[in-house]
């Protein structure tokens, strides 16, 4: 046997050779994923929202979500309508809506660039001329022909029409005594070109923008008042409301400099938002008078309502309008505004919420009720998972994200419609806070009345009853519902483990609320991990000391302990036979450290648990006994993930290795190294082919399980803390340290061809931390740009060529389109199908104002030359197809026949060349370039004297190059079809026998190669099992 058929050792892996020495450009983004959008963000920053009326029917409210803007339509229930693109290079610091545009100020921190953009319908349309002073802009105001931006150091002024920079106003000597401006500005009606600016020493300065000069100064009421925290014009002319740092609020008559009303907050927190109701009602005992003011503070979640008719008195306090957190002092309300001419109040807070409130006129109420709201997590996300599909082919498959945060909440986010986002209820938490007196003026945080932060989530929707599921008081363990009732309606479908809590808690996804049961750990230690069987009937809870228990979700009853307790008869057997004690006790020895992961197989036969003691235990689901124990080499498992499609388990270990276990063979089949720093999270792809992992070095890595190679790696900022892949394979979700949103990435491999080539750990990591477009929402998943032109998908960073033959030892198909040779095989059928069913009809007479083509051709007005040319064109049109083909292909056919006189190079029995060769004879390359009809004509008219030599050429091409395998077989098939009567001629028969022998030898060679590969694969799988 030839050397190339020696299968003693596997052949070295062949690398594709590129025709050029130029490497493709290094990719600038992830090879497999493209940023799609960011969900869960509504108003996470301290930048106040801005609103503008759209006609007479609705208002558009715009909030800042970091470096982007989100616009909501009030009439459609605060539905998201626009998301700004591109993102600002730095964080947004101030916004102002004016007509159909939004002015956005960004950047300005030390060493950072700054600017002011103009956004219309979510798209950047202009940028204001950048001033000389570098500072952070705290407020933007547009009125008349001016655009004003105020920072701590200066006030910048632009022309409204041209966006040209007009002037810069710096603090005067009086304001500089206290330091600088406070960043608060406003204007009053009828004060032409005048702005009111708050100062850090409590003064209020009036500037004329046209002359850039100071007009007047209002001095602070006292030295202890502090800086100005809020400015707002009242509904009456020449009346201005000013709030100070000490909590006082004064309403001035600007013309007389008199103080009309002076009030202060009870808690002493400074007022940072002031707004006045403009519809002319709401005050007085019956609500028919004008004069309602609302105030709020960034340090409190309460909204205070004032009646200004009798010296300013509080008519109502909206307690807990926005949630506050004990983790941060500034976690209250960032913006508050009465919509012009409406009884609607809009508020935004640092709890990542935007709410609208409406005042009822009948019956009259001085405090509003909630109208609409959009919100998300108020603290960074700690756990993340995609909800599994309720059934195969379910419409909601891959649609919902389940996330838990440090704010002790559990949220469900929809990837299709933001209006469906909802927080799973934990009961009437505010009512509990009121009863205990915690919801008061000095303490309004209600997070203490929620369950502790979630550390693990498990879900199965197979028995979820939807809105009709049985319900009860949250976590009351009330067993009044019978098994028959619950089996008809379904039961809880989500189980969570909480920090420092020995109870795992159930949730009803269909009813979006807390469930009935709490499951206690067997050793009464804090729960560390949870799992639900795929049937949705049983929940398993692992503890921080190694206990593992199983409960029934329908009845809430404890069903099994892992390991199972000894029965009295078994205890007696051990006492009677001490020699068998070790074997019996070995099946009942569980974990000795915290359980970090629990998995149940699809058939409810095996339970797999991982713990910090470095053991992986396979339990019997029915008996609770140990079936197999696997000890990790000097490592402990931190996370356990399961892929039902491939029956593989993934373990992230504290030695920075990801180990893959086969559930059937119960052995480690892969070890994936490369993560730098502890592994934060990992997940399988939807088909079980990839492992996506994030680690403390801020890199998200993608491993190919079939080869064990790293195929993608990109660095993000901040550090990625969680990753999740949806069941349809469309999206990857990531969360990041210190952020409230969830970043969604689109899977490029579903929309374009991606060749997952291995990359280097040192040079293959793509840094996405410095590009502003990294987390920018992109349409068409970064494949189509904003101009609508198609962009090339990033090719793998290697020198691979996909258009050349790798080696002559490989049988290679032709690069011709499949339709070329399939049409050739069925050409007679195609011609019969396309044959006209009726003769051509005589053209109808043209209208009188149009001349007939035949009339113009036969008329005397045409010159003789033109007439002859026209007649020639008509003759070609009316001639049969064969004549037209004969005139165009006669030269080609003559050239092909002349190539049959060119002899073959070398011997037919020569071994194949070691270097790829295009053809064995020039006739082959000419035939491959012909259309199917021309090729068929050549084969039909092939002379008998050249028939055997032509077969010899085809045999030599297959023998020496092993290229164009399917096309060569097509040619032989047509020759036998067209010239079957000459196949018995001696030279033709010998040529056909030689072709048959070469074809059989090639088939035998391929069979040996496939057999060798199959043997190696079966041996590897057999050793793994």
The domain ranges of the chain are 43-170, 283-373, 376-423+646-786, 449-460+468-570+583-631, 807-828+889-1025
CA distance 428 to 466: 21
CB 232 within 8 A of CB 241: yes
State residue 867's pLDDT score: 43
CB 870 within 8 A of CB 857: yes
Residue 362 has pLDDT above 90, yes or no: no
Q: How confident is the model at residue 982 (pLDDT cuts 50, 70, 90)?
A: confident
Cis, peptide link before residue 563, omega less than 30° from 0:
yes
Domain 376-423+646-786: homologous superfamily in CATH: YVTN repeat-like/Quinoprotein amine dehydrogenase (2.130.10.10)
CB 201 within 8 A of CB 175: yes
Rounded mean pLDDT, 290-298? 94
Q: Which residues contact 208 (CB under 8 A, 6 or more apart)?
A: 193, 194, 215
Angle of CA points 739, 740, 746, to nearest 5°? 90
Which DSSP letter does residue 845 get? P
> Which residue in the block uniquely carries the two structure tokens 């907050």?
265
State residue 444's pLDDT score: 54
State residue 467's pLDDT score: 77
Closest CA to 629 of 600, 655, 606: 606
Q: Tens digits of per-residue pLDDT, 146-204?
A: 999 999 999 999 999 899 999 999 987 655 444 589 999 999 998 999 999 999 999 99
Rounded mean pLDDT, 245-250? 94
Domain 449-460+468-570+583-631: homologous superfamily in CATH: YVTN repeat-like/Quinoprotein amine dehydrogenase (2.130.10.10)
State residue 851's pLDDT score: 55
What are 159's two structure tokens?
């022309």
Which stretches does DSSP call E strand in 484-577? 494-498, 503-508, 513-520, 527-532, 538-543, 548-552, 558-562
Pairing of β 766-767 and β 709-715:
parallel
CA distance 202 to 211: 24
CA distance 1011 to 270: 81
CA distance 306 to 294: 6
Pairing of β 731-736 and β 146-151:
unpaired
CB 862 within 8 A of CB 856: yes
Which stretches does DSSP call E strand in 705-764? 709-715, 720-725, 731-736, 742-747
**155, 159, 162, 165: CA torsion to nearest 10:** -40
Angle of CA points 279, 282, 285, to nearest 5°? 150
Pairing of β 615-620 and β 146-151:
unpaired
CA distance 775 to 743: 7
Residue 115 has pLDDT above 50, yes or no: yes
Q: How confident is the model at residue 797 (pLDDT cuts 50, 70, 90)?
A: very low
Q: Which residues contact 853 (CB under 8 A, 6 or more apart)?
A: 843
Query: What is the sign of the dihedral through the CA atoms of 738, 739, 742 and 743?
Result: negative
CB 502 within 8 A of CB 520: yes
Higher pLDDT, 823 or 643: 643
**576, 579, 583, 588: CA torsion to nearest 10:** 40
CA distance 519 to 44: 35
Which stretches does DSSP call E strand in 108-257? 114-120, 123-127, 137-143, 146-151, 155-159, 165-169, 181-186, 194-199, 204-208, 213-218, 228-233, 239-244, 248-253
State residue 457's pLDDT score: 97
The torsion angles phi and psi of 147, rounded to 5 degrees, stand at -120, 120
Q: Tens digits of per-residue pLDDT, 54-67?
A: 988 999 999 999 99
State residue 392's pLDDT score: 62
820-852 CB burial, b ≥16 within 10 A, e <16: bbebbeebeeeeeeeeeeeeeeeeeeeeeeeee
Rounded mean pLDDT, 385-398? 77
Residue 1017 has pLDDT above 90, yes or no: no
Domains 376-423+646-786 and 449-460+468-570+583-631 share a fold: yes
Instruction: Point out which residues pair with 35 in neighbouring strands.
Output: 745
SS3 1008: helix
End-to-end CA distance of the chain: 34
Q: Tens digits of per-residue pLDDT, 674-689?
A: 999 999 999 999 999 9
Backbone dihedral region of 536: left (phi > 0), alpha (psi from -120 to 50 degrees) or beta?
left
- Environment class of residue 60 by beta-carbon count within 10 Å: exposed (0-12), middle (13-18) or buried (19+)? buried
Q: Which helix (H) or strand (E) holds 1003?
A: helix 986-1024
Q: How confident is the model at residue 917 (pLDDT cuts 50, 70, 90)?
A: low
Q: Which residues contact 760 (CB under 8 A, 6 or more apart)?
A: none
Instruction: Point out which residues pair with 597 in neighbouring strands.
Output: 610
Query: What is the sign of the dihedral through the CA atoms of 209, 214, 217 and 220?
Result: positive
Of the listed ranges 104-108, 850-854, 965-969, the least confidently predicted one is 850-854
Higher pLDDT, 789 or 731: 731
Rounded mean pLDDT, 316-339? 85
Higher pLDDT, 743 or 980: 743
Residue 665 has pLDDT above 70, yes or no: yes
Higher pLDDT, 894 or 1002: 1002
Q: Which residues contact 354 (CB under 8 A, 6 or more apart)?
A: 42, 43, 49, 61, 63, 72, 78, 346, 347, 348, 373, 374, 375
State residue 876's pLDDT score: 40
CB 384 within 8 A of CB 401: yes
The torsion angles phi and psi of 784, rounded to 5 degrees, stand at -120, 130
Q: Which residues contact 231 (CB under 8 A, 6 or more apart)?
A: 184, 185, 186, 196, 198, 204, 240, 241, 242, 243, 274
Q: How confident is the model at residue 276 (pLDDT cuts 50, 70, 90)?
A: very high
- Measure Cα distances from 926 to 532, 824, 887, 897, 906 in Å: 65, 16, 19, 11, 20
Instruction: Point out which residues pair with 531 in neighbouring strands.
Output: 540
Residue 821 has pLDDT above 80, yes or no: no
Closest CA to 552 of 567, 565, 540, 564: 540
Q: pLDDT averaged over the chain?
A: 84
> What percentage of the chain has pLDDT greater than the value 90?
53
Q: How confident is the model at residue 774 (pLDDT cuts 50, 70, 90)?
A: very low
CB 682 within 8 A of CB 725: no
Rounded mean pLDDT, 773-791? 38
Backbone dihedral region of 281: left (phi > 0), alpha (psi from -120 to 50 degrees) or beta?
beta
Residue 792 has pLDDT above 60, yes or no: no
Instruction: Point out which residues pair with 618 in neighbouring strands.
Output: 608, 628
CA distance 307 to 57: 28
Higher pLDDT, 375 or 325: 375
State residue 888's pLDDT score: 44
With DSSP H G I counted as helix, E B as strand and the rest as coil, what are the percentages for the chain, rounded to 5? 20, 35, 45
Residue 23 has pLDDT above 60, yes or no: no
372-398 CB burial, b ≥16 within 10 A, e <16: bebbbbbbbbbbbbbbbbbeeeeeebb
Q: Could you tell me how far CA 253 lies from the centroid of its own chain?
A: 53
CB 716 within 8 A of CB 723: no
What are 420's two structure tokens?
């469906």
Higher pLDDT, 924 or 390: 924
> What percentage of the chain has pLDDT greater than the value 70?
83
Residue 128 has pLDDT above 50, yes or no: yes
Length of the chain: 1025
State residue 871's pLDDT score: 45
State residue 911's pLDDT score: 54
* CATH code for the structural domain at 43-170: 2.130.10.10
């Amino acid at each position: 046997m030839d050397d190339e058929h020696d299968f003693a050792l596997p052949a070295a892996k062949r690398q594709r050779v590129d025709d050029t020495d130029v490497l493709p450009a290094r990719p600038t983004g992830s090879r497999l994923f493209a940023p799609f959008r960011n969900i869960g963000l509504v108003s996470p920053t301290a930048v106040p929202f801005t609103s503008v009326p759209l006609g007479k029917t609705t208002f558009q409210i715009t909030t800042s979500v970091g470096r982007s803007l989100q616009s909501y339509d009030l009439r459609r229930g605060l539905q998201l309508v626009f998301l700004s693109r591109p993102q600002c290079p730095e964080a947004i610091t101030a916004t102002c809506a004016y007509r159909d545009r939004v002015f956005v100020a960004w950047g300005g921190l030390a060493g950072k660039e700054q600017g002011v953009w103009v956004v219309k319908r979510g798209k950047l349309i202009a940028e204001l001329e950048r001033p000389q002073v570098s500072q952070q802009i705290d407020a933007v105001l547009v009125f008349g022909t001016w655009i004003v931006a105020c920072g701590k150091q200066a006030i910048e002024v632009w022309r409204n029409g041209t966006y040209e920079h007009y002037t810069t106003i710096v603090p005067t000597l009086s304001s500089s005594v206290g330091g600088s401006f406070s960043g608060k500005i406003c204007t009053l009606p009828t004060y032409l070109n005048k702005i009111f600016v708050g100062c850090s020493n409590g003064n209020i300065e009036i500037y004329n923008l046209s002359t850039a000069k100071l007009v007047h100064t209002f001095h602070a009421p006292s030295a202890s008042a502090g800086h100005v925290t809020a400015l707002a014009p009242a509904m009456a002319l020449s009346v201005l409301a000013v709030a100070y740092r000490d909590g006082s609020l004064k309403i001035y008559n600007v013309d007389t400099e008199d103080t009309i009303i002076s009030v202060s907050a009870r808690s002493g927190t400074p007022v940072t938002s002031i707004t006045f109701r403009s519809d002319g009602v709401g005050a007085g005992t019956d609500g028919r008078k004008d004069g309602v003011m609302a105030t709020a503070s960034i340090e409190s979640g309460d909204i205070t309502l004032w009646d200004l008719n009798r010296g300013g008195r509080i008519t109502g306090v909206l307690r807990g309008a926005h949630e506050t957190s004990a983790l941060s002092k500034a976690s209250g309300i960032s913006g508050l505004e009465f919509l012009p001419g409406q009884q609607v109040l809009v508020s935004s807070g640092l709890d990542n919420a935007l709410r609208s409130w409406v005042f009822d006129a009948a019956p009259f109420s001085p405090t509003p009720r909630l109208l609409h709201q959009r919100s998300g997590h108020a603290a960074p996300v700690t756990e993340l998972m995609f909800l599994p599909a309720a059934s195969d082919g379910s419409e909601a498959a891959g649609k919902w994200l389940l996330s838990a945060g440090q704010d002790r909440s559990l949220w469900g986010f929809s990837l299709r419609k933001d209006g469906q986002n909802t927080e799973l209820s934990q009961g009437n938490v505010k009512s509990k806070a009121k009863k205990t007196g915690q919801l008061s003026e000095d303490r309004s945080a209600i997070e203490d009345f929620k369950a502790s932060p979630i550390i693990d989530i498990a879900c199965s929707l197979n028995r979820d009853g939807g809105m009709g599921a049985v319900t009860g008081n949250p976590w009351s363990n009330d067993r009044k519902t019978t098994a028959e009732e619950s089996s008809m309606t379904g039961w809880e479908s989500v189980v969570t483990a909480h920090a420092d809590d020995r109870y795992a808690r159930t949730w009803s996804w269909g009813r979006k609320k807390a469930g009935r049961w709490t499951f206690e750990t067997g050793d009464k230690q804090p729960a560390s991990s949870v799992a639900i069987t795929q049937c949705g009937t049983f929940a398993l809870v692992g503890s921080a000391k190694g206990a593992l228990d199983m409960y029934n979700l329908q009845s809430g009853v404890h069903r099994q302990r892992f390991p199972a307790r000894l029965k009295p008869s078994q205890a007696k057997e051990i006492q009677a036979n001490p020699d068998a004690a070790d074997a019996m006790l070995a099946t009942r020895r569980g974990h000795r450290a915290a359980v970090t992961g629990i998995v149940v197989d699809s058939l409810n036969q095996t339970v797999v648990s991982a713990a910090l003691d470095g053991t992986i235990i396979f339990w019997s689901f029915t008996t609770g006994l140990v079936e197999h124990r696997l000890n990790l080499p000097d490592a402990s498992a931190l996370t356990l993930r399961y892929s039902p499609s491939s029956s593989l388990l993934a373990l992230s270990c504290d030695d920075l290795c990801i180990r893959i276990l086969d559930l059937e063979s119960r052995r480690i089949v892969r070890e994936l190294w490369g993560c730098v720093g502890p592994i934060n999270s990992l997940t399988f792809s939807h088909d079980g082919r990839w492992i996506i992992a994030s680690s403390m070095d801020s890199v998200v890595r993608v491993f190919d399980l079939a080869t064990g190679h790293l195929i993608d790696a990109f660095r993000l900022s901040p550090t990625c803390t969680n990753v999740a892949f949806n069941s349809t394979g469309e999206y990857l979700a990531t969360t990041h340290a210190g952020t409230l949103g969830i970043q969604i990435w689109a899977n490029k491999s579903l929309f374009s061809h991606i060749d997952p080539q291995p990359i280097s750990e040192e040079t293959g990591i793509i840094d996405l931390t410095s590009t502003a477009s990294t987390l920018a929402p992109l349409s068409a998943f970064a494949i189509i740009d904003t101009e609508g032109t198609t962009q090339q998908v990033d090719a793998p960073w290697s020198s691979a060529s996909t258009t050349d033959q790798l080696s002559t030892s490989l049988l290679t198909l032709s690069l011709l389109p499949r339709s070329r040779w399939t049409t050739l095989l069925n050409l007679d059928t195609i011609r019969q199908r396309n044959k006209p069913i009726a003769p051509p009809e005589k053209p109808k007479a043209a209208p009188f104002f149009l001349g007939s083509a035949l009339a113009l051709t036969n008329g005397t007005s045409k010159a003789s030359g033109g007439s002859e040319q026209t007649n020639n064109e008509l003759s070609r049109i009316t001639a049969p197809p064969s004549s037209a083909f004969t005139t165009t292909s006669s030269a080609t056919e003559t050239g092909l026949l002349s190539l049959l006189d060119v002899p073959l190079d070398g011997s037919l029995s020569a071994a194949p060349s070691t270097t790829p060769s295009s053809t064995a004879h020039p006739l082959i390359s000419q035939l491959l370039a012909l259309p199917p009809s021309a090729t068929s004509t050549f084969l039909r008219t092939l002379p008998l004297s050249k028939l055997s030599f032509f077969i010899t050429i085809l045999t030599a091409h297959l023998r020496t190059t092993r290229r164009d395998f399917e096309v060569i077989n097509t040619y032989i098939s047509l020759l036998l079809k067209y010239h079957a009567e000459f196949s018995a001629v001696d030279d033709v028969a010998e040529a056909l026998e030689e072709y048959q022998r070469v074809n059989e030898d090639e088939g035998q060679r391929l069979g040996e190669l496939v057999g060798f590969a199959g043997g190696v694969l079966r041996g590897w799988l057999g050793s793994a099992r």
